[in-house]
């Protein structure tokens, strides 16, 4: 086998970031993630066919090697002490560190989202994502069978614990989650990490303002569109929680945003809850716009989790390059138009798709494999209001 030079260069980049993995595990992770980017698919057949062609190997040989990579150790064909399983959870901290290392030194803000997505009745994926320029960067996940019953609480606690103490203490970290994930224990778990919950709740229930004798229905906080309110309250009669309630109801939305946080009303901005909508863009990256994971034939959650590691690495590669292009375009727009720096051109392509095109263009121009940096915008940057997330 003669390893393709681009794949060899990519393998070197991946190996530097995952020193805990064995050489076969590094090789499999690099091959899978490289093949996904080049084929825009997580299909075993497509990826193995491409790799076989560029390495001048037999397709079945490559296919078997890629299957072995995501199998558990006891199911591998190879004999001896090398039959070990790739422990995905041990890679989460390394993924987060990789993301943090790509940020500018002056960075002191980080937006994180917790969310769940499903693949029909096959899987439910619980994921933690770093929010960046309209995209979500995967850093930790748990995959369970779609029909599995029981609480997700142990999974979320384990995922959050895997990232504990990695983010610098001077960062302001907000952790957002949609209404279906709200729980009082999750609020407290995030606070215990030194981060700030930003959890949306339903408008059923009650809240009480300090020194007030009577509770008020949550449905009355902002009774009509165009209204907003914030204040420190005790929320809910059952499992009450002392927090700040942020409320806003904009035109075009069926319901108001009701968000609970531990930040004071002067520190928090309810508009920050718009960041988690970027997760939907991330799911398009994993599915229809990118790796086509909605078509996966995998049915084993542990094997799917390993494949998601390759998808996360490939996703990060594309988003860094696409984000660089977007940041550069913003600077050129400001320079050419002499507009205020609060303006930004409308996003025509997601950072992910822009990054895929950048990778392809570099290869067609004969340039070497490159990995980008991250250039986040401040939480309160006015340009967030101008960005449109179309693909």
State pLDDT tens for residues 30-86: 999 999 999 999 999 999 999 999 999 999 999 999 999 999 987 776 554 456 899
Q: Residue 346 burial (CB < 10 Å; 0-12/13-18/19+)?
A: exposed
Whole-angstrom Cα distance, residue 306 to residue 229?
Answer: 44
**Angle at alpha carbon of residue 100, lines to 95 and 106, rounded to 5°:** 175
pLDDT value for 125: 96
pLDDT band at 2 (very low <50, low <70, confident <90, very high): confident
pLDDT value for 78: 56
Q: Is 234 helix (H, G, I), strand (E, B) or coil?
A: strand
Mean pLDDT for 134-141 is 95
Q: What are the tens digits of pLDDT across the range 74-111?
A: 777 655 445 689 999 999 999 999 999 999 999 999 99
Q: What are the tens digits of pLDDT across the range 308-340?
A: 999 999 999 999 999 999 998 866 544 444 555
| Widest CA span in the chain | 77
Is the model's pLDDT at 205 over the cut of 60?
Answer: yes
Q: What are the helix (H) ranges across 56-194?
A: 59-70, 92-101, 153-162, 184-192
Whole-angstrom Cα distance, residue 92 to residue 108?
Answer: 21
Q: Which residue has the higher pLDDT, 383 or 23?
A: 23
259-287 exposure pattern, b = at least 16 Cβ within 10 A, e = fewer: bbbbbeeeebbbbbbebbebbebbbbbbb
Directed axis angle between helix 23-39 and helix 301-337, to 10°?
A: 60
Q: What are the tens digits of pLDDT across the range 231-260?
A: 999 999 999 999 999 999 988 889 999 999
pLDDT band at 173 (very low <50, low <70, confident <90, very high): very high
Q: Is 42 helix (H, G, I), strand (E, B) or coil?
A: coil
Q: How far is CA 32 from CA 162, 349, 351, 352, in A?
A: 24, 25, 21, 18
- Average pLDDT along the chain: 90
Which residues are paired to 244 by β-bridges? 232, 261
Is the model's pLDDT at 391 over the cut of 50?
Answer: no
* C-beta atoms surrounding 237 within 10 Å: 11
pLDDT value for 330: 67
pLDDT band at 380 (very low <50, low <70, confident <90, very high): confident
pLDDT value for 385: 45
pLDDT value for 388: 37
Is the model's pLDDT at 282 over the cut of 80?
Answer: no
Whole-angstrom Cα distance, residue 19 to residue 301?
Answer: 25
In terms of residues, how long is the chain? 391
Give CB contacts under 8 A, 24+ apart, made by 14-21: 14/313, 17/94, 17/98, 18/91, 18/94, 20/90, 20/91, 20/94, 21/86, 21/91
pLDDT value for 279: 81
Mean pLDDT for 371-381 is 92
pLDDT value for 3: 83
pLDDT value for 81: 43
pLDDT value for 332: 55
pLDDT > 90: what percent of the chain?
Answer: 78
Q: Is the dihedral of CA 246, 142, 149, 193 positive or negative?
A: negative
What is the DSSP secondary structure assignment for residue 80, as one 8-state letter? S
pLDDT value for 243: 98
Whole-angstrom Cα distance, residue 334 to residue 337?
Answer: 5
Mean pLDDT for 160-168 is 94
Whole-angstrom Cα distance, residue 206 to residue 188?
Answer: 19
Q: Is 7 helix (H, G, I), strand (E, B) or coil?
A: helix
Is the model's pLDDT at 163 over the cut of 50?
Answer: yes
Q: Is the dihedral of CA 69, 67, 292, 115 positive or negative?
A: negative
CB contact set of 204 (below 8 Å; sequence gap of 6+): 218, 219
- Among residues 33, 39, 89, which one has the least CA distance to residue 66? 33
Domain residue extents for the chain: 1-86, 88-391
323, 374 Cβ separation under 8 angstroms: yes
pLDDT value for 331: 63
Q: How far is CA 382 from CA 2, 162, 302, 324, 387, in A?
A: 51, 33, 42, 19, 10
pLDDT value for 133: 93
CATH topology for 88-391 is Transposase Inhibitor Protein From Tn5; Chain A, domain 1 (3.90.350)
Is the model's pLDDT at 344 over the cut of 70?
Answer: no
Is the model's pLDDT at 223 over the cut of 80?
Answer: yes
Whole-angstrom Cα distance, residue 150 to residue 130?
Answer: 27
- Among residues 344, 356, 324, 323, which one has the least CA distance to residue 388? 344
Mean pLDDT for 169-181 is 95
């Amino acid at each position: 086998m003669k390893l393709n030079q681009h794949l060899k260069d990519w393998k070197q980049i991946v190996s530097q970031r995952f020193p805990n993995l064995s050489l076969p595990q590094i090789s499999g992770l690099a091959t899978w993630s490289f093949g996904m980017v080049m084929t825009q698919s997580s299909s075993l057949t497509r990826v193995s066919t491409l790799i076989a062609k560029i390495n001048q190997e037999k397709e079945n040989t490559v296919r078997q090697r890629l299957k072995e990579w995501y199998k558990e150790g006891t199911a591998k064909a190879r004999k001896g002490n090398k039959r070990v399983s790739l422990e995905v959870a041990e890679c989460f901290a390394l993924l987060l560190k990789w993301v943090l290392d790509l940020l500018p030194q002056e960075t002191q803000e980080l937006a994180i989202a917790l969310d769940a997505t499903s693949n029909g009745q096959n899987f439910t994926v619980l994921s933690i994502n770093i929010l960046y320029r309209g995209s979500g960067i995967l850093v930790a996940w748990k995959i369970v069978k779609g029909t599995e019953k029981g609480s997700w609480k142990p999974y979320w606690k384990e995922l959050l614990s895997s990232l504990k103490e990695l983010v610098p203490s001077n960062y302001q970290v907000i952790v957002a989650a949609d209404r279906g994930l709200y729980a009082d224990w999750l609020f407290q778990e995030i606070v215990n990490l030194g981060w700030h919950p930003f959890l949306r709740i339903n408008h059923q229930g009650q809240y009480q303002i300090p020194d007030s004798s009577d509770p008020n229905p949550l449905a009355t906080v902002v009774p009509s569109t165009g209204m907003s309110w914030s204040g420190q309250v005790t929320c809910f009669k059952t499992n009450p929680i002392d927090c700040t309630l942020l409320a806003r109801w904009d035109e075009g939305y069926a319901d108001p945003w009701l968000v609970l946080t531990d930040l004071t009303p002067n520190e928090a901005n309810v508009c920050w809850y718009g960041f988690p909508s970027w997760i939907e863009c991330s799911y398009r990256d994993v599915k229809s716009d990118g790796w086509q994971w909605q078509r996966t034939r995998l049915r084993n959650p542990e094997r799917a989790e390993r494949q998601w590691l390759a998808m996360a690495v490939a996703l990060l590669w594309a988003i860094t390059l696409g984000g660089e292009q977007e940041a550069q375009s913003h600077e050129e727009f400001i320079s050419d138009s002499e507009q205020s720096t609060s303006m930004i051109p409308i996003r025509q392509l997601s950072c992910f798709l822009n990054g895929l095109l950048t990778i392809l263009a570099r290869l067609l121009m004969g340039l070497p494999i490159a990995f980008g940096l991250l250039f986040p915008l401040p939480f309160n940057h006015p340009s967030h209001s101008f960005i449109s997330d179309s693909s």
